Amino acid sequence: MNPYLLCWVVTCLCANTVTADTRDRSFDADWRFLRGDVPDAQTQDFDDTAWRTLDVPHDWSIEDLDTPESIGPFSKESPGGASTGHVLGGMAWYRKHFILSEEDTGKQVALRFDGVYMDSEVWLNGRSLGQHPYGYTPFAFDLTPLLKPAGQTNVVAVRVRNLGKNSRWYSGSGIYRHVWLTVTDAVHIPLWGVFVTTPQASDTSASVHLAIDLANTGRQSVETSISTTLVSPDGKSVATITTQQTIAAHTEIPLKQTVILPSPKLWSLETPHLYEAVTEVRVRDTVMDRLVTPFGIRTIEFSAREGFKLNGQPVWLRGACVHHDNGPLGAAALDRAEVRRVEILKANGFNAIRTSHNPPSPAFLDACDRLGVLVIDEIFDHWKIAKNPQDYHRFFEAWWETDLTAMIHRDRNHPSVVLWSIGNEINERVEDEGLAITRQLCDAVQRLDPTRPTTESLCEFWERKNRSWPDTARAFELLDVAGYNYQWKQYEPDHTLYPDRIMVGSESFPREALENWQQVEQHPYVIGDFVWTGMDYLGESAIGHASVDNEPENGLLPWPWYVAYCGDIDICGHKKPQSYYRDVVWRQSPLEMAVHCPIPEGHTEIVSRWGWPDEVRHWTWPGQQGKAMQVHVYTRYPKVRLELNGRVMGTQSVSEDTKLTATFSVPYEPGTLRAVGMIDDQVVSSVTFQTTGQAVALRLTPDRSTIEAGRNDLAYVTVEIVDEHGSVVPHGISKVHFEITGPGELAAVANA
């Protein structure tokens, strides 16, 4: 195969065409005209010379709007409002001109999109290739029948319609994942045509099975030789198998190959070893196609008696639910941004991710494979009953099988993926129609990939008064693993009724981290807990915001909130106080401390169910001298002592009964605040906060000192206000202007 990444010419619909330098990613457009259309933009001879040149992935919804009713890309006119982070969708057209060379004459040419949000239609040379409604699944078209001869210009046109209220979260808009042009010979391996499984694997031996699809679009039957070479993680060829096969004209056939591999290197969380299966198709010693398929050798087992096992070893899933956006980059799935999210989550203790509530990008799963993170790969947030008027429910009946097949075919070789999820909080989940859909989806998953179990996330029946939790039994009995959203109190009573049910906390509240984890540690039938959320995201604005009682009610807050603010990690990638508490819950840190921000006199704090108290990790409070400050110490030590400037402020016992928390009231004075953990009255650990000095400088810290010369690589630069000793001044305020010179691009700027 010969894949090319494509760049595109784009215009967002506006009253007048816009010309911009090809290096400029921003342009002026009147977003009030985004609901319009471009007549004849799909045709071959449409004049697009005034449209600007653009690289994909991109996300048009993060373009500055520059209207009285907007701030940056955020608008009060957003149909989705707080749910989608106050961004605008609309309609846009893309056009791409390309010319095939003489050597491509007679070959198969396909165009693949990794993700377009949403309801897209694609044309080639004025002829429609088809539409693709869902915004999160990949799709491809065969261009071959409509291509111009070599040397002549072909034009691809794409229309994207992100209209109305169609999402419960920030979706982004446009071609936000990669696009690929693939050229193959008539005899070739079709898209996602190799499936590698390792049904038996141990330290001494592994059975590697390959299911290979072989296509012949030519006019004659041919004799082929299909060879697969396994390449070890250190780059050495360790096994080869060859199969001879005759394939008739205009046919596609399945092949199977099996290799027994001695002393394999197993894929695990600690050692995520990756092999490659290099498959070559030859006709008369000429290589017609070559496909490299990364895979991992590992086994997975699920049971109510022994929990989840990876390579025969029990694993508790320390899970994070994540949305697909990349914060200030919007939904644009730049490779480095996708990898960085996985790196941050793993570095903060998460060993599993639930892709809520849609398939992620290929780059995200590649990162999970390389870094050793397990994945629940989820397909739908709704089926036939709407959650929003213009959402995917309009297309579900006609498209569910296409989209489910695309997700599983694309993702089935990722060793990180251990569960397929068919839905989240589906409205019709226990109704007769919903149960029939559940059977359809589960049967399709089993047919497409019998090596992994199926799950679905169910919640309480807040939308149906005539239903209660026991009704979930009808749905759970159809699933391999039962996903419980915010229902840890149901684990033990449900286990009494259904002792063979395997349960997972598919969503949980941050403040119930201990209760959920106690269930995991105590009961093998509860295989893990996935917090909502591992990382902050755009949309569902401020559901995690802690407010005081004179602010709006809990739930989605109005303008100008954009971020959910419920994550353990903030939207810039930094650790929040709730994540330090989780470290103690997970036994990954012995002792942590936080200080609650002062609450105005006469008011009380309101914390949403997805939120966390307004606390921070510092001891710098100008203007609070002598006022009582609330200090929380989190630990599994039996006793903690709090000291201020060497004086003992108090000693408390700590246990799971106190939620691993000791709370002290301390009159503020600058200096050193120190918490110590004790066993048998002996100090064994401590954590210290030191009051900082005056702000004197800005400090810029890049996460990487060297990056590749390409738009898919990024350096994230943290800007901090520091004192003369280099300590961060938490209340420092400075207006900062960002500018970059040289061969680089300022992709985005944000705070958390």
Which positions are annotated as active-site residues? Answer: 425, 507
- Residue whose pair of structure tokens reads 């959650």 in the numeric block: 387
Distances (CA, A) of 171 to 154, 355, 647: 31, 14, 52
CB 82 within 8 A of CB 75: no
Phi and psi based region of residue 643 (left: phi greater than 0; alpha: psi -120 to 50; beta: remaining):
beta
CA atoms within 13 A on the CB side of 197: 16
Query: Torsion angle of alpha carbons 442, 446, 449, 454, nearest 10°?
Result: 40
Strands of 525-580 (E only): list them.
526-531, 546-548
What counts of helices (H) and strands (E) characterise the chain?
8, 43
Residue 494 CA to residue 473 CA, distance in Å, equals 9
Q: How far is CA 72 from CA 12, 83, 560, 568, in A?
A: 16, 18, 11, 26
Q: Which helix (H) or strand (E) holds 169?
A: none
Closest by CA to 93, choosing from 33, 146, 182, 148, is: 33
CA pair distance 580, 568, nearest whole angstrom: 9
Coil, strand, or helix at residue 689? strand
Q: Which residue blocks in 525-655 are alpha helix, DSSP H?
A: 577-585
Secondary structure of residue 145 in the 3-state scheme:
helix
The packing angle between helices 513-522 and 577-585, to 10°, is 20
Angle between helices 362-371 and 335-347 (to 10 degrees): 40
User: With contact defined as beta carbons under 8 Å apart, do 375 and 351 qualify?
Assistant: no
Q: How many CB atoms lie within 10 A of CB 253?
A: 13
Q: Distance between CA atoms of 732 and 726, rounded to whole angstroms? A: 13
H or E stretch at 291: strand 286-295
Give the tokens for residue 471: 């009704």
Query: For residue 605, what are its two tokens?
Result: 């704090």
Q: Which is it for strands 672-679 and 639-644: parallel, antiparallel or unpaired? A: antiparallel
Angstrom distances, CA of residue 526 to CA of 252, 459, 523, 583, 660: 43, 16, 6, 20, 21
**Position 83, amino acid:** S
Q: Does residue 738 contact residue 747 with C-beta atoms inside 8 Å?
A: no
Nearest to 518 by CA among 436, 459, 612, 585: 585
CA nearest 717: which of 580, 538, 576, 573?
Answer: 573
- Rounded distance, CA 65 to CA 325, Å? 20
**Helix, strand, coil in percent for the chain, rounding step 5:** 15, 35, 45
Question: Per residue, what are the HEC states of 352-395?
Answer: EEEECCCCCCHHHHHHHHHHCCEEEEECCCCCCCCCCCCCHHHC
- Residue 271, preceding peptide bond in cis (omega within 30° of 0): no
Helix ranges restricted to H, 424-501: 432-448, 473-476, 491-497
Q: Which of 397, 394, 461 is nearest to 429 (CA)?
A: 461
Q: How far apart are CA 314 and CA 40, in angstroms?
A: 59
Cross-strand partners of 690: 672
